[in-house]
Structure 1
Amino acid sequence: MHYPIPTSPEEIINLRQKPISDELVATAIAGVIQFVRSQGQSLEQLTAQLLADDSLLDDRQRRRLSEIVTQAWEKFA
């Protein structure tokens, strides 16, 4: 399946209705990066949010997600 890159937080949230796949995760990450940039936030601000303690991901998962988002951010630059 090919998913369009979401352009709003609502579209990102609506991705929850789709079956999880690598492509869906990549689409969601791309949408978050585009949205964060449109709000004038930096990569450092985004990674700080990703690394913040939460109940969904453990430390290792948050660090890995942060690395993946950093790589994607650089590809979109």
Structure 2
Amino acid sequence: MNYPIPANTPEVGTFRQKFVDEELIATAIVGVVDVARSKGQSLEDLITEVLADDALLDYQQRHRLSEIIAVAWESLV
């Protein structure tokens, strides 16, 4: 990957760019998982947040994202 993995919540927000590709999305997901773990959150806590936040994604998109985050969480153990 050519992107640094974000170490905290503000760094995750800096990934907003004009062009977004799969690599950038994967990097952001890894960053979100790492930040959640560093804050002592469980996978369930993180999924609850993802499913509750409806600012950008509809329910179906949030549900799919929560599944992807769960896979990333388990892969990064």
The aligned residue for residue 2 of structure 1 is 2
SS in structure 2 of the partner of residue 60 of structure 1: helix
Partner Cα separation in structure 2 for residue 42 and residue 18 of structure 1: 32
The aligned residue for residue 20 of structure 1 is 20
Segment drifting more, 57-66 vs 15-24: 15-24
Aligned residues: CA RMSD: 1.4
User: Displacement, 1:17?
Assistant: 3.0
The residue type paired with residue 5 of structure 1 is I
Q: Which consecutive segments of 4 or more residues in structure 1 shift more than 2 A?
A: none
The aligned residue for residue 50 of structure 1 is 50
Count of residue pairs the alignment pairs up: 77
Partner Cα separation in structure 1 for residue 4 and residue 53 of structure 2: 30
Could you give the per-residue CA deviations for residues 34-75 of structure 1, whole angstroms, max 9, x where no partner exists? 010000000000000111151311111011000000000000
Partner Cα separation in structure 1 for residue 33 and residue 39 of structure 2: 10
Partner Cα separation in structure 2 for residue 63 and residue 32 of structure 1: 16
- TM-score for the superposition, normalised by structure 2: 0.91
Partner Cα separation in structure 1 for residue 19 and residue 4 of structure 2: 15
Partner Cα separation in structure 2 for residue 17 and residue 59 of structure 1: 24
Specify every segment of 5 or more residues in structure 2 that has no aligned partner in the other structure, as ranges.
none
1:62 and 2:48 are equivalent in the alignment: no
